[in-house]
Amino acid sequence: MKTTTYFHRSYRTAGKAGFLHTFLLFILVIALDGAILAYHHDLLFKFSSFVQNVLLRCGVGAVILDWDFLPKVIKVLPVINSVCVFPTKFVSLINFAASVLIIVLVPGAKIMPRSFVIYLVFLSILTAISSLFFTFVPHLFPYDIVDFSILYIGSQLGTWLLMPVVMAFVLTPLPAPALEKFGIILATLAYSIVFGAIRYAALMLILNKLSVLHMAALYFSLGPLVDFIYIVAIYSLYVNRIAIRLDKKPETWRWLF
């Protein structure tokens, strides 16, 4: 229970950004999304080319394919195709046994944070299901590297289109210039592209060197869903910077009573 109230930072809020600043920010974001859509093929081709070069340097053969995606706007996606390894029955059984041990033992571990326990158990369940699949009906496995690449590239492009809009909404209330906020959005997008390319190459290497047994677990543990972590991190650092900057400007604060 809170027993002390610090009046120097309680019951007050920063002044809101003006309408013109907000309007300018969203115009810039709409233009950015329009540019991504207009040049998405060139962007994704260079993105995939970088990953292809990384894979070739690591001794993994890879080719870029133009895969039919949607009938309009995003008609084809440049994706990477490579050789993938299927697990043996022995490897599948070992993975199943290890996953079951984690599912049974880890929830009782008191030294682990509960969020980490839930995350680990969830991934172990996915691995256990995949292990059973490859133990009994490996010939029915319907996916390969191309399917994984289509899912990854499509999700990555969706993130690049959605992220600027989401960040524009959460940055709008902050009392800062529109161009500065747009700069943060561009920086986050640039980070997403670089991080996404490195992650794509790492996932392809794992699927090539280990096996496709871990495909589902890899996508949910290291796939585009992880992007929200660095988006929140960059937003938090920016908000902290604004708070420090405004702390020396008491005229910007508004009391709530």
Residues ≥6 apart with Cβ < 8 Å to 15 = 175, 252, 253, 254
Closest by CA position to 213, among listed 150, 133, 121, 146: 133
Q: Identify the CA nearest to 206 among candidates 217, 195, 192.
A: 217
Question: What are 71-124's pLDDT values in tens digits?
Answer: 888 889 999 998 888 899 999 999 999 999 999 998 888 888 888 898 899 999
- pLDDT for 53 equals 95
What is the C-alpha to C-alpha distance for residues 122 and 25, in angstroms, rounded to an integer? 39
Mean pLDDT of the chain: 87
What pTM does this model have?
0.84
Q: Is residue 33 pLDDT above 70, yes or no?
A: yes
Residues 33, 37, 41, 47, Cα dihedral to 10°: 20
